[in-house]
Structure 1
């Protein structure tokens, strides 16, 4: 799906949230690899699950034509600094829900980008009859967990010892959901 662009000014930073377009693909490929190397909050290490420009073009096309998907980018000074996706399915038993994922460059944390991406996704989901948004978050990502709770998400479960991080220790993944009935 495509949404209308929104302008934001938070803590002195101006940025735009808009739907991803085909011309964003190459930049998204580089950005995703960079962000994967900046934090252990995500599922991948740098370089894992690499998606090249044509791969992102396919994802953007799929998300643009699907009524259950949404791909948003955050633009600051003509460069993409973050993105989010909501991915649904055509299966009837799961048609009511979508899964949210987000990536923001570490230099741009603290400007409300993740929260604004999620808020835009919630508005989109609510307006298109998607009644449940799910997400997964690393147990140590307390800032994200608090944000999700403020936006109506509840813990639905815990995947114990789900990931091994660079310190060699196991960490759990918290499964959260927001239901709009």
Structure 2
């Protein structure tokens, strides 16, 4: 699905949140690889499950057509610095919900980019009548957990020793969900 773009200025930095376009595919491929190397909060190590430009083009095309999918990017003067994605389900028993994921490059942290990608996704989901948004977050990422809780997400469970990070230790994953409010 495609949404209207929004412009934000935080502490002197202006950025746009908008739907991903085919022309973004090359930047998205490079950005995803870069972000995977900047933080262990995501599922992949650098280079794992690599998506090249053509794969991103296919995802963007599909997401643009699907009413239960949303692919957003954040850009600063045309340079993509973050993205989020809501992926819906085709099975009838799961058609009421989407799964949310977000990533922002490290030098763009602190400007509320992740927060605005989340807010735009929630607004879209509510307008689409989607009943539930679910996500998973590393338990040590307390800043993200607080952000999600502030936006109505609740902890639904914890996956014990779910991820093994570069330090060789195992970490828990928190499963969170947000139910659409009754209007």
TM-score, normalized by the shorter chain, greater than 0.5? yes
User: Mapping of 1:1-181 within 5 angstroms?
Assistant: 1-180=1-180, 181=182
| Structure-1-length-normalised TM-score | 0.99
What do residues 14-37 of structure 1 show as CA deviations (whole Å, max 9, x unaligned)?
000000000100110000000000
Supply the distance in 1 between the matched residues of 2:45 and 2:140 (Cα, whole angstroms).
17
Supply the distance in 1 between the matched residues of 2:17 and 2:64 (Cα, whole angstroms).
15
How many residues align? The count is 181
Name the SS for the 1:162 alignment partner: strand
Q: Which runs of 4+ in 1 moved over 3 A?
A: none
1:98 CA drift (Å):
0.2
1:12 CA drift (Å):
1.7
What do residues 28-76 of structure 1 show as CA deviations (whole Å, max 9, x unaligned)?
0000000000000000000000000000000001100000000000010
What do residues 76-103 of structure 1 show as CA deviations (whole Å, max 9, x unaligned)?
0210000000000111111110000001
1:11 CA drift (Å):
1.9
What do residues 108-155 of structure 1 show as CA deviations (whole Å, max 9, x unaligned)?
111001010000000000000101000000011011000000000000
Structure 2 portions without partners, runs of 5+: none
Supply the distance in 2 between the matched residues of 1:12 and 1:47 (Cα, whole angstroms).
33
Name the SS for the 1:174 alignment partner: strand
Supply the distance in 2 between the matched residues of 1:53 and 1:17 (Cα, whole angstroms).
21
Name the SS for the 2:168 alignment partner: coil
